[in-house]
Protein backbone atom coordinates (compact mmCIF):
# COMPACT_ATOMS: atom_id res chain seq x y z
CA UNK A 1 0.00 0.00 0.00
CA UNK A 2 1.37 3.43 -0.96
CA UNK A 3 2.60 5.57 1.93
CA UNK A 4 0.37 8.54 2.69
CA UNK A 5 2.27 11.74 3.34
CA UNK A 6 1.27 14.98 5.05
CA UNK A 7 3.38 18.13 4.73
CA UNK A 8 3.52 20.69 7.55
CA UNK A 9 5.15 23.87 6.30
CA UNK A 10 6.26 27.14 7.84
CA UNK A 11 5.77 30.18 5.60
CA UNK A 12 8.20 33.09 6.08
CA UNK A 13 11.71 32.05 5.04
CA UNK A 14 10.47 28.57 4.12
CA UNK A 15 7.67 28.34 1.56
CA UNK A 16 7.80 32.13 1.16
CA UNK A 17 10.96 34.02 0.23
CA UNK A 18 12.35 35.95 3.21
CA UNK A 19 12.59 39.22 1.26
CA UNK A 20 9.89 39.11 -1.42
CA UNK A 21 7.30 36.80 0.24
CA UNK A 22 7.01 35.00 -3.12
CA UNK A 23 6.44 31.23 -3.39
CA UNK A 24 7.00 31.14 -7.16
CA UNK A 25 10.20 29.05 -6.92
CA UNK A 26 8.25 26.27 -5.16
CA UNK A 27 5.20 26.43 -7.42
CA UNK A 28 6.09 23.58 -9.85
CA UNK A 29 6.71 21.18 -6.97
CA UNK A 30 3.68 22.47 -5.05
CA UNK A 31 1.47 21.72 -8.07
CA UNK A 32 2.80 18.16 -8.24
CA UNK A 33 2.21 17.68 -4.52
CA UNK A 34 -1.38 18.88 -4.92
CA UNK A 35 -1.91 16.55 -7.90
CA UNK A 36 -0.94 13.65 -5.61
CA UNK A 37 -3.53 14.88 -3.08
CA UNK A 38 -0.88 15.25 -0.40
CA UNK A 39 -2.15 17.75 2.18
CA UNK A 40 0.01 20.85 2.66
CA UNK A 41 -0.75 22.27 6.09
CA UNK A 42 0.52 25.82 6.54
CA UNK A 43 1.84 26.45 10.05
CA UNK A 44 2.90 29.99 10.72
CA UNK A 45 3.16 32.98 13.03
CA UNK A 46 0.91 34.84 10.60
CA UNK A 47 -2.73 35.67 11.31
CA UNK A 48 -5.77 33.81 10.07
CA UNK A 49 -6.51 36.66 7.64
CA UNK A 50 -2.99 36.51 6.15
CA UNK A 51 -2.98 32.72 5.94
CA UNK A 52 -6.38 32.58 4.26
CA UNK A 53 -5.14 34.95 1.55
CA UNK A 54 -1.97 32.89 1.00
CA UNK A 55 -3.93 29.61 0.95
CA UNK A 56 -6.18 31.01 -1.77
CA UNK A 57 -3.19 32.06 -3.88
CA UNK A 58 -1.65 28.60 -3.50
CA UNK A 59 -4.95 26.85 -4.23
CA UNK A 60 -4.93 25.00 -0.90
CA UNK A 61 -8.03 23.89 0.97
CA UNK A 62 -6.54 22.13 3.97
CA UNK A 63 -6.42 22.91 7.69
CA UNK A 64 -3.90 25.57 8.72
CA UNK A 65 -2.26 26.57 11.98
CA UNK A 66 -1.82 30.25 12.84
CA UNK A 67 0.00 32.51 15.27
CA UNK A 68 2.58 29.97 16.48
CA UNK A 69 0.05 27.26 17.29
CA UNK A 70 -2.56 29.62 18.71
CA UNK A 71 -5.35 27.90 16.78
CA UNK A 72 -6.07 25.28 14.14
CA UNK A 73 -8.55 26.31 11.42
CA UNK A 74 -10.19 23.28 9.82
CA UNK A 75 -12.54 23.51 6.81
CA UNK A 76 -15.97 22.19 7.78
CA UNK A 77 -16.47 18.45 7.27
CA UNK A 78 -12.74 17.90 6.64
CA UNK A 79 -12.59 15.70 9.76
CA UNK A 80 -15.05 14.14 12.16
CA UNK A 81 -14.47 16.32 15.24
CA UNK A 82 -17.20 14.78 17.37
CA UNK A 83 -16.27 14.95 21.03
CA UNK A 84 -13.55 17.55 20.54
CA UNK A 85 -13.70 21.03 22.02
CA UNK A 86 -14.07 23.44 19.12
CA UNK A 87 -15.64 26.67 17.93
CA UNK A 88 -17.42 27.51 14.69
CA UNK A 89 -16.07 30.53 12.81
CA UNK A 90 -17.43 31.06 9.31
CA UNK A 91 -16.40 28.16 7.07
CA UNK A 92 -14.10 26.70 9.76
CA UNK A 93 -14.21 24.57 12.83
CA UNK A 94 -11.56 25.99 15.15
CA UNK A 95 -9.49 24.29 17.84
CA UNK A 96 -8.11 27.06 20.03
CA UNK A 97 -4.85 26.41 21.89
CA UNK A 98 -3.71 29.95 22.66
CA UNK A 99 -4.99 32.72 24.94
CA UNK A 100 -7.03 35.76 23.84
CA UNK A 101 -5.07 38.56 22.21
CA UNK A 102 -6.36 41.21 24.61
CA UNK A 103 -4.73 39.34 27.51
CA UNK A 104 -1.42 39.10 25.65
CA UNK A 105 -1.50 42.76 24.70
CA UNK A 106 -2.28 43.80 28.30
CA UNK A 107 0.65 41.72 29.58
CA UNK A 108 3.03 43.25 27.05
CA UNK A 109 2.13 46.75 28.21
CA UNK A 110 2.66 45.78 31.85
CA UNK A 111 6.02 44.14 31.12
CA UNK A 112 7.14 47.25 29.24
CA UNK A 113 6.00 49.63 31.99
CA UNK A 114 7.25 47.61 34.96
CA UNK A 115 10.69 46.94 33.50
CA UNK A 116 11.08 50.21 31.59
CA UNK A 117 12.04 48.23 28.49
CA UNK A 118 11.83 49.75 25.03
CA UNK A 119 9.73 47.33 23.00
CA UNK A 120 7.05 47.90 20.40
CA UNK A 121 4.19 45.52 19.63
CA UNK A 122 2.23 45.30 16.40
CA UNK A 123 -0.75 46.88 18.13
CA UNK A 124 1.38 50.01 18.70
CA UNK A 125 1.97 50.37 14.97
CA UNK A 126 -0.06 51.63 12.05
CA UNK A 127 -0.33 49.38 8.97
CA UNK A 128 2.10 51.67 7.15
CA UNK A 129 4.68 51.16 9.92
CA UNK A 130 4.21 47.37 9.90
CA UNK A 131 4.68 47.47 6.12
CA UNK A 132 7.85 49.52 6.47
CA UNK A 133 9.58 47.24 8.99
CA UNK A 134 8.43 43.93 7.49
CA UNK A 135 8.52 44.56 3.76
CA UNK A 136 4.84 43.66 3.43
CA UNK A 137 2.53 45.64 1.19
CA UNK A 138 -0.03 47.89 2.89
CA UNK A 139 -2.98 45.54 2.46
CA UNK A 140 -1.08 42.52 3.84
CA UNK A 141 0.18 44.68 6.72
CA UNK A 142 -3.45 45.38 7.65
CA UNK A 143 -4.12 41.63 7.67
CA UNK A 144 -0.99 41.12 9.81
CA UNK A 145 -2.46 43.40 12.48
CA UNK A 146 -5.58 41.24 12.86
CA UNK A 147 -4.06 39.33 15.76
CA UNK A 148 -6.03 36.80 17.80
CA UNK A 149 -3.47 34.81 19.82
CA UNK A 150 0.03 36.29 19.40
CA UNK A 151 1.72 39.70 19.64
CA UNK A 152 4.89 40.18 17.55
CA UNK A 153 7.20 42.79 19.01
CA UNK A 154 10.44 44.62 18.30
CA UNK A 155 12.99 44.80 21.10
CA UNK A 156 15.41 47.74 21.01
CA UNK A 157 17.50 46.21 23.83
CA UNK A 158 18.07 42.58 22.75
CA UNK A 159 20.35 42.01 25.76
CA UNK A 160 17.25 42.14 27.96
CA UNK A 161 15.36 39.30 26.26
CA UNK A 162 16.07 36.94 29.17
CA UNK A 163 14.41 39.39 31.56
CA UNK A 164 11.38 39.67 29.28
CA UNK A 165 11.05 35.88 29.14
CA UNK A 166 11.06 35.71 32.94
CA UNK A 167 8.45 38.44 33.25
CA UNK A 168 6.30 36.79 30.57
CA UNK A 169 6.23 33.57 32.60
CA UNK A 170 4.82 35.53 35.54
CA UNK A 171 1.79 36.23 33.32
CA UNK A 172 1.54 32.60 32.22
CA UNK A 173 2.95 33.51 28.81
CA UNK A 174 6.12 32.81 26.85
CA UNK A 175 8.36 34.48 24.26
CA UNK A 176 9.42 32.74 21.05
CA UNK A 177 11.75 33.99 18.33
CA UNK A 178 10.65 34.00 14.71
CA UNK A 179 12.52 34.97 11.58
CA UNK A 180 11.91 38.71 12.02
CA UNK A 181 10.26 39.33 15.39
CA UNK A 182 9.92 38.08 18.93
CA UNK A 183 6.40 36.84 19.74
CA UNK A 184 4.54 36.93 23.04
CA UNK A 185 2.16 33.94 23.17
CA UNK A 186 0.35 31.63 25.56
CA UNK A 187 1.32 28.09 26.49
CA UNK A 188 0.97 26.96 22.88
CA UNK A 189 3.44 26.09 20.16
CA UNK A 190 3.51 24.68 16.65
CA UNK A 191 4.28 21.18 17.93
CA UNK A 192 1.09 20.83 19.99
CA UNK A 193 -1.01 21.85 17.02
CA UNK A 194 0.83 19.45 14.68
CA UNK A 195 0.28 16.59 17.14
CA UNK A 196 -3.49 17.18 17.05
CA UNK A 197 -3.64 17.33 13.26
CA UNK A 198 -1.44 14.25 12.84
CA UNK A 199 -3.86 12.33 15.06
CA UNK A 200 -6.85 13.56 13.05
CA UNK A 201 -5.24 12.55 9.75
CA UNK A 202 -4.34 9.13 11.14
CA UNK A 203 -7.92 8.63 12.31
CA UNK A 204 -9.09 9.47 8.80
CA UNK A 205 -6.49 7.65 6.70
CA UNK A 206 -4.61 5.27 8.99
CA UNK A 207 -0.85 5.57 9.23
CA UNK A 208 0.75 8.65 7.64
CA UNK A 209 4.32 9.84 7.22
CA UNK A 210 4.70 13.48 8.20
CA UNK A 211 7.17 15.98 6.76
CA UNK A 212 7.84 19.29 8.52
CA UNK A 213 9.73 22.24 7.03
CA UNK A 214 10.94 25.33 8.88
CA UNK A 215 13.84 27.74 9.21
CA UNK A 216 13.75 29.30 12.69
CA UNK A 217 13.73 28.36 16.36
CA UNK A 218 9.95 28.71 16.73
CA UNK A 219 9.69 25.82 14.22
CA UNK A 220 11.55 23.44 16.54
CA UNK A 221 8.41 22.10 18.33
CA UNK A 222 6.95 21.25 14.92
CA UNK A 223 10.15 19.61 13.67
CA UNK A 224 10.25 17.43 16.79
CA UNK A 225 6.76 16.08 16.05
CA UNK A 226 7.20 14.99 12.42
CA UNK A 227 8.78 11.87 10.92
CA UNK A 228 11.02 13.81 8.53
CA UNK A 229 12.09 17.24 9.81
CA UNK A 230 13.56 19.66 7.26
CA UNK A 231 15.67 22.66 8.22
CA UNK A 232 15.61 25.26 5.46
CA UNK A 233 18.78 27.28 5.02
CA UNK A 234 18.25 30.90 6.03
CA UNK A 235 18.48 33.81 3.60
CA UNK A 236 21.85 34.78 5.10
CA UNK A 237 23.27 31.37 4.15
CA UNK A 238 23.33 30.06 7.72
CA UNK A 239 21.19 27.50 9.54
CA UNK A 240 19.25 28.09 12.73
CA UNK A 241 21.02 26.46 15.66
CA UNK A 242 18.79 23.63 16.80
CA UNK A 243 19.31 20.51 18.93
CA UNK A 244 20.11 17.29 17.09
CA UNK A 245 16.99 15.85 15.47
CA UNK A 246 16.50 12.32 14.15
CA UNK A 247 16.24 12.10 10.32
CA UNK A 248 16.94 15.82 9.94
CA UNK A 249 17.29 17.02 6.34
CA UNK A 250 19.15 20.29 5.71
CA UNK A 251 18.65 22.10 2.42
CA UNK A 252 21.37 23.67 0.30
CA UNK A 253 19.06 26.44 -0.83
CA UNK A 254 16.99 28.92 1.15
CA UNK A 255 13.30 29.81 1.08
CA UNK A 256 11.01 28.29 -1.55
CA UNK A 257 14.00 26.97 -3.53
CA UNK A 258 15.01 24.99 -0.44
CA UNK A 259 11.40 23.89 0.09
CA UNK A 260 11.21 22.52 -3.47
CA UNK A 261 14.64 20.89 -3.10
CA UNK A 262 13.59 19.03 0.07
CA UNK A 263 10.18 17.89 -1.17
CA UNK A 264 11.71 16.71 -4.45
CA UNK A 265 14.29 14.71 -2.54
CA UNK A 266 11.88 13.15 -0.03
CA UNK A 267 9.00 12.40 -2.38
CA UNK A 268 11.14 11.82 -5.51
CA UNK A 269 8.78 14.01 -7.57
CA UNK A 270 9.48 13.94 -11.32
The answer to whether residues 13 and 232 touch, using CB atoms and an 8 Å cutoff, is: yes
The β-bridge partners of 7 are: 40, 211
Alpha carbons 246 and 258: distance in angstroms, whole number:
19
Centre a 10 Å sphere on the Cβ of residue 186 and count the other Cβ atoms it contains: 23
Q: Which position among 10, 17, 189, 215 bears the catalytic label?
A: 10
Centre a 10 Å sphere on the Cβ of residue 131 and count the other Cβ atoms it contains: 18
Alpha carbons 99 and 118: distance in angstroms, whole number:
24
Is 137 noted as a catalytic residue in this protein?
no
The side-by-side arrangement of strands in the sheet containing 249-254 is 40-42, 5-9, 209-214, 228-233, 249-254
Q: Point out the residues that are catalytic.
A: 10
Amino acid sequence: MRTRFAIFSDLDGTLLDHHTYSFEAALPVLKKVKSRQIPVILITSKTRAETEAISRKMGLNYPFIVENGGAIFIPRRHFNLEGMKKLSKGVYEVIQLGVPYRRIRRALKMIRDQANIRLVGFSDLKPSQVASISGLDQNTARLAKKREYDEPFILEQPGRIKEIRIRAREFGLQVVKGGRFYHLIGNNDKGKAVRILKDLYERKYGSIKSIGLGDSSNDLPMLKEVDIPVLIRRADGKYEKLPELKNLVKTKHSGPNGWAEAINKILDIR
